[in-house]
Amino acid sequence: MAGLFLNFFEAEIEGQTFQLSKVPFSDYSTKESYLQLQDEYPDFQFYRVRDEIFYWGKSGLTKVLPLNSKKESISLLSVPKIVSKILESCLMDALSRDERLEVIHKRYSHSWEVISPNNKLQGINGLSAHNCYTISPKYFKKEKKNILGFTISLRTKYVFTQDKQTLEANGFDTSGLRGDENSIHANKQAIKRYIDAMGKRQEFESFEKQNSNNASNYNNIQKFVGWLNKNILPEVKLPNEGKIKPLKAYNIPSAEFSFDVLRRPKRFFYAGQENTKNLPYYNQMVKEYKPASYEEISSNLKIGVICPTKYEGRTETFLKTLKDKLESELHINEVVFNTVFVPDEKLDSYASVIYNDEVLETELVIVVVSEDQKTIPVPSSPYYYCKAKLIGNGIPTQQITIETINGANSFSLTNISLNIYAKIGGTAWTIEKEDKLKKEFIIGIGSTTLQDGKHVLGLAQIFDPDGRYLVGDCVPISTLENYKENLILFLEKIIKQEIESAAITGSDEFRLIFHIYKSASSEYELAAVKEVVNLFDNYTFKYALIHLAYGHNYRLFYSEGKSDLKRGIYLPLDDREALLTFVPNSNLPLKINLDWRSSFQDLQYLSQQVYWFSDLSHRTYMPSKRTVTLMYPSLMVSLTEKLKEVEGWDFDRLRHINEKLWFI
């Protein structure tokens, strides 16, 4: 049986030195002139490196163009990124010449998609499925050599084979689906509606089960690489007249890669108790040892409920079970519900009771809605209206759909009760923190994207009273326009608070660790850090900026995809990049990039911290696949932006509930 496998295929080349032509970038410094240069010579690849533009023929041509050209010798050892670009351009040119394939350049992700013409989905007329391979060039700098190659992943691309008019003539309602005048995009929403409308759900689910598992994914990638080696690579010509040798990959550990399995963090409960009885489930642990915040939140809890009358009986049964969960598992002394019924699901009906005394005297309000109401625009949504108005009075809300109530089971009720406990300020558990000599500030910077494409950012601070990690302030801060200034103010505030509360002297060293949803920028994060360091020039600072992302082309498989991955696999790719697994049955790991300008550079230490913080999520008892340092601020700013659409919403009222996880 094979062990761990990374979808990186090494590409060795015959001859590692190239004589390339180059022109000054100043000759084509405008976007228009650079694009014109590419359009004029489509058979050549142009690649800017600082103040120069290198070029070469995609099919191996070494011709010098009638430009202001000079020659330069470059090698894999000296400039690996240029050699990597040479391999990419020549390989993709060869693939593009195969007329059977659809080859698409994904410009902003430095990747290519190669779509097979073969339809894998038989028996569902009007819908086809095709293997879509994503190819991304990659090189690694190792101690003794530089390694070139490609990551290759696979997904299924669905296509409607009939135009919009034919689909409608066959009884398929296309209203509300994305597409253009003549076609419908085969996204999840459209596919789901189509297979149900055609009575083909069973056939489709059978196809998905056979083709979307990790073993099938692994085998198809290997077959594709075998096809490349046999049919495409022999046709690739490099500009040094060399060839690309057959792509190869090894199971890990190998000569170039090795991995560790990180230890799970200990969870602490009331009075610092650990799981000494080896209970198997986290909710059982909370029930046995009591929540960490037991002394703060153990008295009576009054919960408001706003519910349409047509759901009264089912909601009553659900609330009885929820009451039992909160009292037995989370040790709340007594839960009392103040239920207010509304005649229908219209906004005006919910609005008519929102300020009733029975509602305002509670610590949290459950708003019962239906799934259909989730698609209502925010300004007309009863749920968002209730959330906005109640948050304005310091009262968090919990949305529960009637569909959730209909299908309620022990698992869903356990998670709902945990959500409620966190929203009223409770902490069911904390996690361990390894003792350090330095004081650390850990700041997560998350983001959401608005409909107009604008990014809105939020911050979450992790703090560590009495040696255990907790989630501190979660605040929305800004758009990119005032991001740097607000980040400086936030850092200045938390550092000042720590200096004053802990009586820290100038001999102490601070460590600032940033978990960021994007690559660090000298214009924003680095500039903010430098200004804060200058503000506290009596103190010593080190800092690390790490980019955490799932939007990449790496995939991991165990036992050829036939077995689940272990949780916590840490695979360093080089000194600044690593992969980390969270979900055993998923082949998509988290990618961790340490910015090269960081003054603190212990990548494994930082990765373990990221891994442990997934245990701090209180959306569910199970560890999250996203660290709370990114998940919490992203959830918070997304919800905050929606609440701004509610008429009369006062953003400043959020400042009164920063200590509660009202947004999870």
Mean pLDDT of the chain: 88
Average pLDDT estimate for 71-79: 90
Q: Rounded CA gap, 110 and 9, in Å? A: 17
Return all residues near 98 (Cβ < 8 A) that are at least 6 apart. 232
- pLDDT at position 464, please? 64
- pLDDT at position 650, please? 64
Whole-model pTM over 0.85: yes
pLDDT per position as a tens digit, 225-236:
999 999 999 999
Which of 61-70, 211-220, 461-470 is modeled with the greatest confidence?
A: 211-220
Do 363 and 302 meet the contact criterion of CB atoms below 8 Å apart? yes
Class of residue 107 by CB neighbours under 10 A (exposed 0-12, middle 13-18, buried 19+) = exposed
Which strands, in side-by-side order, build the sheet including 569-572? 260-261, 569-572, 577-580, 590-594, 540-549, 509-516, 439-449, 455-463, 468-479, 430-432, 267-268
49 or 496, greater pLDDT: 49
Coil, strand or helix at 115: strand
The token pair at 208 is 């998905």
pLDDT per position as a tens digit, 521-544:
888 888 888 888 888 888 888 999
Buried b (16+ CB within 10 A) or exposed e, 397-434: bbbbbbebbeebeeeebbbbbbbbbbbbbbbbbbbbbe
Q: Peptide bond before 253: cis, by omega within 30 degrees of 0?
A: yes
- pLDDT at position 467, please? 45
> Is it the case that residue 469 has pLDDT exceeding 60?
no
Do 580 and 611 meet the contact criterion of CB atoms below 8 Å apart? yes
> Is it the case that residue 203 has pLDDT exceeding 60?
yes
Phi, psi (rounded to 5 degrees) for 158: -95, 145
CATH 3.40.50.2300 is right for the domain spanning 297-423: yes
pLDDT per position as a tens digit, 575-628:
999 999 998 899 999 999 999 999 999 999 999 999 998 888 778 888 888 888
Estimate the crossing angle of helix 201-211 against helix 188-197, to 10 degrees: 130
Q: How far is the CA of 354 from the CAs of 358, 374, 407, 522, in angstroms?
A: 9, 19, 27, 47
> Could you say which architecture CATH assigns to the domain 433-554+589-657?
2-Layer Sandwich (3.30)
Which strands, in side-by-side order, build the sheet including 251-252? 251-252, 4-6, 556-558
pLDDT per position as a tens digit, 160-197:
999 999 999 999 999 989 998 899 999 999 999 999 99
The token pair at 507 is 């001999």
> Is it the case that residue 471 has pLDDT exceeding 70?
no
* Structural domain boundaries in the chain: 4-13+81-252, 17-75, 297-423, 433-554+589-657
> Is it the case that residue 498 has pLDDT exceeding 90?
no
pLDDT per position as a tens digit, 354-402:
999 999 999 999 999 998 887 788 888 998 899 888 888 889 999 999 9
Do 133 and 103 meet the contact criterion of CB atoms below 8 Å apart? no
> Is it the case that residue 652 has pLDDT exceeding 70?
no
